[in-house]
Structure 1
Amino acid sequence: MGAIFRITADPSTNMVRQYLAGFFEAVDVERFVAARNAAHERLTCGPNEHVTLVDVRDMKIQPQEIVQAFGAVLAGPRYRSRKLAFVFSQSLARMQLMRASQGRDARMFTDIKEAEAWLLAEDDAEGSIAA
């Protein structure tokens, strides 16, 4: 399965929702970044005040260079979210997510409703990655 992604921005909650599935190549990461940047234009909050939900339950295990490419995307300060939640299904995918999100204040969930609740809740003092 080739790369599939959808990105939406909800100005009422200042939440960016990303769905990624399949197997990505470098050109797909570039297309993803362009779509992500366009989605951010629809937000009404200030820079870095939004929250992001990333659903990767249908994403295939990626080659190391793609994990690194997504890591670079996540490390960029311009579109950094205030809170970042990943929803995943496979343990190996979790390891790749941890590598890609290294240095980010992120949480990982297996249930999308739990991820949404955490993102929309008042900020907590704890910022570690949780399973």
Structure 2
Amino acid sequence: MFEISTEPQHKLVRLRLTGMLTRDGVADLYRQEHAAIAAMGCRLGDHLCIVDLTDCPLQIQDVASAFQSEIGSEGKARRLAMYTGRALARMQARRIAGARDDVAIFEHREEAEAWLLAGGDGQAG
């Protein structure tokens, strides 16, 4: 219940999450994301990532914990922007991301892309 696409010219990975995931689904997502990063000719950690959560319901705690573990892992994105129009989903995304200044959560895709590609600092929304 995810889609991955890349934009090599920006070293950008786009993730779109939909539906309920499992811990195994989260692990599969990150395996495929790492393969997509390698296919761009980019090293883990040199890439940017934007995550579309607009069609992703709130996840159960076990899955949220799996995301939390992965988001802070060695292969994390240099900068990560997430977006969704739902306030509760943004709150869950903030809890998962923790207090990282290289992660921001937005209501709209355009805001997320502008922040990510501009290289600005600080936490949004």
Q: Which residue of 1 aligns with 2:12?
A: 15
Tell which deviates more after alignment, 95-104 or 50-59. 95-104
CA separation of 1:62/1:46 partners in 2, compared to 1, >3 Å: closer, same or farther? closer
Please report the TM-score for the alignment, with normalisation by the length of structure 1. 0.86
Q: Which consecutive aligned stretches of 4+ in structure 1 deviate over 6 angstroms post-superposition?
A: none
Counterpart Cα distance in 1 of 2:60 and 2:110: 29
Counterpart Cα distance in 2 of 1:32 and 1:45: 18
| Aligned counterpart in structure 2 of residue 98 of structure 1, from 90, 94, 97 | 94
> Structure 2: any 5+ residue segments left out of the alignment?
none
3-state SS in 2 of match to 1:108: strand
- The answer to whether the Cα contact below 8 Å between 2:19 and 2:56 also exists between their aligned partners in 1 is yes
Deviations 1:72-106 (A, max 9, x none): 110102x2212110011211111111111014321
> Structure 1: any 5+ residue segments left out of the alignment?
none
| Aligned counterpart in structure 2 of residue 29 of structure 1, from 26, 29, 37 | 26
**Which has a greater percent of helix?**
2
| Alpha-carbon RMSD | 1.5
Aligned length: 124
CA separation of 1:47/1:66 partners in 2, compared to 1, >3 Å: closer, same or farther? closer
3-state SS in 1 of match to 2:18: strand
Q: Which residue of 2 aligns with 1:116?
A: 113
Counterpart Cα distance in 2 of 1:117 and 1:56: 17
1:64 deviates by 0.7
Counterpart Cα distance in 2 of 1:117 and 1:90: 20
- The answer to whether the Cα contact below 8 Å between 1:21 and 1:59 also exists between their aligned partners in 2 is yes
Q: Which residue of 1 aligns with 2:83?
A: 87
Please report the TM-score for the alignment, with normalisation by the length of structure 2. 0.90
| Aligned counterpart in structure 2 of residue 48 of structure 1, from 38, 45, 48 | 45
